[in-house]
Amino acid sequence: MIQETLTAIFEQLTVDPDQKSRILRNVLAGARLNEETKKQPDLTAMLELSESEKKCFGSEKEVNELKREDGNIGLESKDESILKREFPRRTFLKGSAAAVVVAGASTAVSGGIMTALTPNTANAATSVDEHTAQTVCQVNGCNGCSLEVLVRDGNVVRTKARNIPREGDLNRICARGASWAHQVVSPKRIKYPMKRAGERGEDKWEQITWDEAIATICAKIKEYQAKYGKNSVACMDDGTMMYNVRWSYTRLKNIAELCHVNKTTDMAYAQSAFLNVSEYFFMGANHYENVLRNLKTFIAWGSNVIEAWPQTWKFIADAIEHNGAKLVVVDPNYNTMASKATLHVRVRPGTDGALAMAMIRYLDEQKQTADSYLQERTVAPFLVKGDGRFMRKSDLQTLADPKMDDYVVWDRKTNAYGFASEVKDPEIRKGTFEVGGHKVMTAYDKLLERVAPFTLKQAAEICDVPEATIKEFAELLATNGPAEVLEGFSVDHYVNGYGSLTAVNSLRMVTGMIGMPIISLYPTADGFSAAEANYPKMSGQIAPFMFKDLLETGKYEMPGKTLEQQLKAWLIFGGNPVAQQPDHNYMVECIKKFDFVAAANVEFCESTKYADILLPVCTSLELSDIAVASSCLMYAEQVITPRFESKPDFEICKLIAQELGLGEWFNFDFDHVLSAIIDTPQLKGQGLTLERLKQEKTIALATPTLKQAATATGRLQFYLETYVPFAYFGQTFDMEKIRLPYWEPPNEAWPVTAGGYEKNPLADKYPLYYYTGPRRFRVHTSMGNVPMLRELEGTEPLVRMNPEDAAKRGIKEGDHVRIFNDRGHVVAKAVFSAGVRPGMVDMDRGWQENQTISGHYNDLTSMTRDWATANNAFYDALCEVEKA
């Protein structure tokens, strides 16, 4: 069998027949030797090659170097079956194009990736053109790791970590970053512009020219906008972290007056981060490695860092090993992260807010709060009036200059009111009293009033965590500092997510965790320069949960507003919303109802399946970009020329603008875009130019701390006097509830009666929590077609179950099971883990419909939301499981 497979693959090698025959003969001999001895074959011993043939595989030095690197791609555990296979697959994959052919024998024959990887000029008569290039792994949700890419005869044959010129061990990549050689030549790539050749959803296509594709799209835009209004054409650009892409589409959406589609994902996380503490911590552009290393207590709250952000885990592990730091993991499941924890708080799903609020109350009762920190850094001493607004100097006296207004506090020393900028020792606990005829309370008293119902006993019942554990957790935060929390997106994924995240942030403030913020180093994706003040604007924004009503009736009812809009066309630039939005069946139903759909993407996916026109887009290795990670500004070089007929997103935007008669808005080249991306006060202030960046490639940035938080008050805010949702469509919401942290049971995922809260009656039918946790070898549906990663992860989706739950249902490990609720189902293979919380299933996410036996992992999720955040609540769902 192996001879037949290798023979088929070697037929694709563009070397002369004698070379083909001899390489194949020696590889097969090596394979037989390996089968007999069960030893890892040595490349140079196995192959007796000429000098020109050796260039196809890489030198012995290179191969040995790669073998040493093989254990350093972000894998904390290794499958022995992978390490003992007949061919050292990952070493070959990272080593060279021809090595990929050998190593991929078992899986790549039908994939068609060999031709693209094989050096077309490699033969005895010619030399090999080989060089390295620098780029950045810009996958949504990851760290922006710097890559050194080996290019041989115009083909990517290896990626590895590139040295970053700043203090700290930052030179690592994970398996995802090591897989780019496969991603560039994925058999799922869209190669040419195409139009639908069958019924929508049949995935049948006819190749067309770029001119025809752009003309068709623009004709539809003009037709619908003229007949039904500018906002009849919706546009969603998503799925990338590349700044040039987001900048280009932002500009196009505005000048063409398209209607923006807000995916409303991670809204609770984003709002709590920026409104409470003014930034993301431990994620994104800034360099927090030193903060992590110096911690005495680190809390991973709803975040499996090892799986989701393996680079961040390195610094946490360093703090544990070298600084004696204690690790607390707050997670319903005993997972990879929890296995490293000093304390695992196995909280009931969706109850994180109740836990944090009980800890705030307990620490205040025990006089273990950071009062000086609360006075100086937070809104704790600000006086709050009956209307919910902070009291200001202008409430008490007439001001000659409005800029001189100030927040009013109560001075403990003088026992009279004073002003925040002047009083050194303001009161934070005083109850209700009067100032200037207004009844007031301190913001901190407001917080204490909100957390008052959450005693340790109450929280223990709600969260299913012993009181002693809650006490231990709270006292650890108060006494073993410095401490910090990395909040994950798991808490965000419930309808009550915003309230819970603000509760966790409030706990961080009460214990004095949060350091001074670092100046924002993010480039801009605004699409316009400061000098371009007068430009057309987008014609509004909607969200996918509005699609059905707008498509069927032209109206969408929400609290306080009725939206009237004729929705006719959807332009999907990147991303895979049909697969990644909640309620997959709903999304399929909606996309079929659009009169016209165009999609631009790198690969075929569920969203492209329903399009009328497809546009092929470059991978990030086929164009240049700028990124910021680990407080470094990085130039991501164009590594290889665009494959097939793919184009950069900027060029696609430019073509559409020109066809719409708006070409003057794109009358510049790509370097203009890159220059605009770094045209921010923070980056310009450090003397940064595109020319300098191209020359130096990576520049370590200065990271001065700010004197105050970048919030409305300049302080950390557990109390908000004003609030506008990030996803705001004109809806009304409960302002009083949203000002402070809150907790209420999840909307659906509440199958118990606990703490005085009655269970959801739906639990009689669907008693199990439905959860789709992070996976190491993919990011959502991205990288879901990479053979290297599928080999590491498996060839089909799995659902992890507690053995007790499986036994009750007569399910054996390895059975295919049907996970279902009223919205839909998915079939997956059951694997058992005592680490999964009883009463919960952990379903693999990111597998697309064509990769499952039946159904889809997002068939079970819901579009339900809290209007104060309008956030996708992926985990707020119940289900049942049965044998398929």
Q: Do 410 and 683 meet the contact criterion of CB atoms below 8 Å apart?
A: no
Summarised one tens digit per residue, pLDDT across range 344-382 is: 999 999 999 999 999 999 999 999 999 999 999 999 999
DSSP 178-200: GGHHHHHT-TTB--S-EEE-SST
Structure tokens given for 441: 């309370």
The answer, yes or no, to whether residue 146 has pLDDT greater than 50, is: yes
Instruction: Find the Cα–Cα–Cα–Cα dihedral 121, 122, 128, 134, rounded to 10°.
Output: 80
DSSP 447-479: HHHHHTT--HHHHHHHHT--HHHHHHHHHHHHH
Quickly count: other Cβ atoms within 10 Å of residue 50's Cβ. 11
Residue 136: per-residue pLDDT: 87
Parallel, antiparallel or unpaired: strands 343-345 and 326-330 = parallel
Residue 776: per-residue pLDDT: 79
Structure tokens given for 352: 């994180």
CA angle 637, 108, 64 (to 5 degrees): 60
Three-class DSSP category at 226: helix
Instruction: Find the Cα–Cα–Cα–Cα dihedral 242, 248, 251, 256, rounded to 10°.
Output: -130
Q: Which residues pair with 700 in a beta bridge?
A: 632
**Sorting pLDDT into bands at 50, 70 and 90, what band is 774?**
confident
Position 23, amino acid: I
**Sorting pLDDT into bands at 50, 70 and 90, what band is 565?**
very high
**Sorting pLDDT into bands at 50, 70 and 90, what band is 168?**
low
Share of the chain above pLDDT 90, in %: 62
Contacts of 108-114 spanning 24+ positions with Cβ under 8 A = 108/9, 108/787, 109/5, 109/8, 109/9, 111/187, 111/787, 112/187, 113/182, 113/185, 113/186, 113/187, 113/787, 114/9, 114/12, 114/13
Q: Which residues pair with 784 in a beta bridge?
A: none
Residue 814: per-residue pLDDT: 96
Q: Whole-angstrom Cα distance, residue 353 to residue 492? A: 11
**Sorting pLDDT into bands at 50, 70 and 90, what band is 182?**
confident
Q: Do 94 and 160 meet the contact criterion of CB atoms below 8 Å apart?
A: yes
Structure tokens given for 487: 């909040």
Residue 600, CA distances (Å) to 230, 540, 546 in order = 21, 22, 23
Structure tokens given for 34: 């390996």
Summarised one tens digit per residue, pLDDT across range 566-590 is: 999 999 998 899 999 999 999 999 9
Structure tokens given for 6: 């290798």
Q: DSSP alpha helices (H): ranges in 556-669?
A: 577-580, 584-593, 649-659
Q: Whole-angstrom Cα distance, residue 651 to residue 673? A: 11
DSSP 745-786: --SS---S-BTTBPPPGGGGT--EEEE----TT-BTTBTTT-
pTM: 0.84
The answer, yes or no, to whether residue 517 has pLDDT greater than 60, is: yes
Question: Which of 503-517, 563-577, 771-785 has the highest mean predicted lDDT (pLDDT)?
Answer: 563-577
* Residue pointed to by tokens 């309620």: 583
Residue 841, CA distances (Å) to 275, 333, 489 in order = 33, 10, 18
Q: Minimum mean pLDDT among 205-209, 693-697, 780-784, 850-854: which range?
A: 780-784
Q: Do 578 and 588 meet the contact criterion of CB atoms below 8 Å apart?
A: yes
Q: Which residue has the higher pLDDT, 780 or 197?
A: 197
Residue 397: per-residue pLDDT: 92
Cis amide linkage into residue 482, ω under 30° from 0: yes
Residue 292: per-residue pLDDT: 77
Edge-to-edge strand list for the sheet holding 259-261 = 205-207, 194-196, 613-616, 596-601, 569-573, 233-237, 259-261, 541-542
Q: Do 173 and 160 meet the contact criterion of CB atoms below 8 Å apart?
A: yes
Summarised one tens digit per residue, pLDDT across range 212-235 is: 999 999 999 999 999 999 999 999
* Residue pointed to by tokens 């040295």: 163
Q: Whole-angstrom Cα distance, residue 411 to residue 415? A: 5
Q: Whole-angstrom Cα distance, residue 98 to residue 119? A: 8
Edge-to-edge strand list for the sheet holding 383-384 = 383-384, 438-442, 433-435
Strand intervals (E) in 623-710: 625-629, 632-636, 698-700
Summarised one tens digit per residue, pLDDT across range 103-112 is: 333 333 333 3
Q: Whole-angstrom Cα distance, residue 816 to residue 629? A: 42
Q: Whole-angstrom Cα distance, residue 418 to residue 350? A: 41
Query: What secondary structure, in 3-state letters, does 301-352 show?
Result: ECCCHHHHCHHHHHHHHHHHHHHCCEEEEECCCCCCCHHHCCEEECCCCCCH
DSSP 123-187: STTS---EEEEEEEE--TTS--EEEEEEEETTEEEEEEE---SSSS------TTGGGHHHHHT-T
Q: Do 879 and 862 meet the contact criterion of CB atoms below 8 Å apart?
A: no
Q: Do 273 and 279 meet the contact criterion of CB atoms below 8 Å apart?
A: yes
Q: Which residues pair with 131 in a beta bridge?
A: 151
The answer, yes or no, to whether residue 77 has pLDDT greater than 60, is: no
**Sorting pLDDT into bands at 50, 70 and 90, what band is 281?**
low
What's phi and psi for 342, nearest 5 deg? -70, -40
Residue 740, CA distances (Å) to 379, 431, 445, 457, 479 in order = 12, 17, 11, 22, 26
The answer, yes or no, to whether residue 39 has pLDDT greater than 60, is: no
Residue 714, CA distances (Å) to 440, 707, 717, 724 in order = 21, 9, 9, 18
Q: Do 158 and 59 meet the contact criterion of CB atoms below 8 Å apart?
A: no
First to last CA, the chain: 33
The answer, yes or no, to whether residue 12 has pLDDT greater than 80, is: no
- Average pLDDT score over the chain: 84
**Sorting pLDDT into bands at 50, 70 and 90, what band is 414?**
very high
Q: How many CA atoms lie within 13 A of 810 on its CB side?
A: 3
Q: Whole-angstrom Cα distance, residue 463 to residue 357? A: 12
